[in-house]
């Protein structure tokens, strides 16, 4: 149950952009959620905006008070403490609405999809081009966090979609990024 929250804000740094700092912060949170095998911590981005497209500089963590205390006992912010400001664990406002923050993946490159199909199915370039038209490509318009894969070390963009405001909370688990298809977090 997401009854409490805490906010972690990145501080401006002359050598590192806020977007890079937020990516590093979010990457560390992801690693902590994986290591602790947690599915009870949700995230939101209070400064989330689609126009102009921005995820903002604040990461809000949602869960029960005890779960947030447990997460924070692990020193997952090690090396980042000079770059962030953190609030205390606070109860979510009683009159808050709710919303879902979910990952959204896009088929952004027909050429990449074709190469993948050729490798997996043993097709020729022409067969893959016929199966995957250029029209499949979509230009993402969602805010994102730039991360680096822990398994492959490849950089990638984690696109995040905010669902509509809801009056009642939705139940479910959160993934290791603190996102969910159904579970809501308080939105205020």
Q: What domain count does the chain have?
A: 1
What's the full length of the chain, in residues?
A: 188
> Do residues 83 and 21 touch, judged by C-beta distance below 8 A?
yes
Please indicate, yes or no, if residue 51 is contained in any of the structural domains. Answer: yes
Cβ partners under 8 Å of residue 66, min gap 6: none
- pTM for this predicted structure: 0.84
- Residue 18 CB burial class (10 angstroms; 0-12, 13-18, ≥19): middle
Question: Which residues are identified as catalytic?
Answer: 30
CATH of the domain at 77: 3.30.70.2540
Please indicate, yes or no, if residue 176 is contained in any of the structural domains. Answer: yes
Please write the tens of the pLDDT for every residue from 138-180: 678 899 999 988 778 888 899 999 999 999 999 999 999 999 9
């Amino acid at each position: 149950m997401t009854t409490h929250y805490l906010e972690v804000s990145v501080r401006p740094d002359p050598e590192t952009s806020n977007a890079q700092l937020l990516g590093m912060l979010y990457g560390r949170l992801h690693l902590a959620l994986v290591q602790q095998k947690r599915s009870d911590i949700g995230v939101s981005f209070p400064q989330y905006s689609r126009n102009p497209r921005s995820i903002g500089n604040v990461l809000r963590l949602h869960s029960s008070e005890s779960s947030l205390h447990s997460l924070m006992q692990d020193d997952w912010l090690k090396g980042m403490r000079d770059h962030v400001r953190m609030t205390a664990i606070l109860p979510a406002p009683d009159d808050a609405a709710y919303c879902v923050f979910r990952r959204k993946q896009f088929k952004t490159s027909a050429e990449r999809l074709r190469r993948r199909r050729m490798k997996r199915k043993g097709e020729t370039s022409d067969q893959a081009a016929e199966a995957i038209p250029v029209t499949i490509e979509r230009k993402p318009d969602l805010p994102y966090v730039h991360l680096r894969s822990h398994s492959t070390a490849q950089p990638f963009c984690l696109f995040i979609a905010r669902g509509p405001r809801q009056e009642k909370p939705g139940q479910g688990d959160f993934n290791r990024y603190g996102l969910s298809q159904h579970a809501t977090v308080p939105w205020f």
